[in-house]
Amino acid sequence: MSSPSQPVPPPPSSHTDEPSPQTIQISSLGLLGVLLLAFGLSFVIFASPPWVSVLWIVPIGVAYWMLRVRTVVDTRGLHVRRVFGSEVIAWDEIEGFRFPKRAGWARARLTDGSEKSLPVVTFEKLPLIAAASGGRVTDPYALSARIERERREQERAEADADQRDSDQSPE
């Protein structure tokens, strides 16, 4: 029997979907904002001395950042890509996830006690992570939906039993 800190995926069966890698990244629609920023800066840049053209670095840098950072989840682990560098975190190294109370990206808590930031990953992305992890991460939304479905089925079964009892009682 495995310990709770060592997640083990369930064995695959013929009725379970094969997990597919999921890429969690900033929406490319955000590049529209970068274009608007560049458009607004162009008035300042063209109306100023030539050295002000270094301001073009701002929209270019933001666009590069938006296109570069991402987290790819698959059955082997998390592939984290940052502005400068990338790394792979295997599932065996991950003890759990922490989601900051304030706005921010999730953090993977590692077995050695350290934490790694996961770019673009928020609590709302957990279903994607759960689908791609091969059963190593539980989808909290699916769990709550399953509990609610079981509760409704139990209430329906109790109502049917009450109905049968009232139908069988002599009047």
Contact assessment for residue 69 and residue 17, using Cβ atoms and an 8 Å cutoff: no
| Residue pLDDT tens, the chain, 171 long | 444 454 455 555 444 567 788 899 999 999 999 999 999 999 998 898 989 899 999 999 999 999 999 999 998 999 999 999 999 999 999 998 999 888 789 999 999 999 999 999 998 888 888 888 888 888 777 777 778 888 888 888 888 877 777 777 665
CA nearest to 53, candidates 63, 41, 62: 41
- Report the predicted TM-score, pTM, of the whole model to 2 decimal places: 0.68
Instruction: Please report which helix (H) or strand (E) contains residue 108, including its range.
Output: strand 107-110
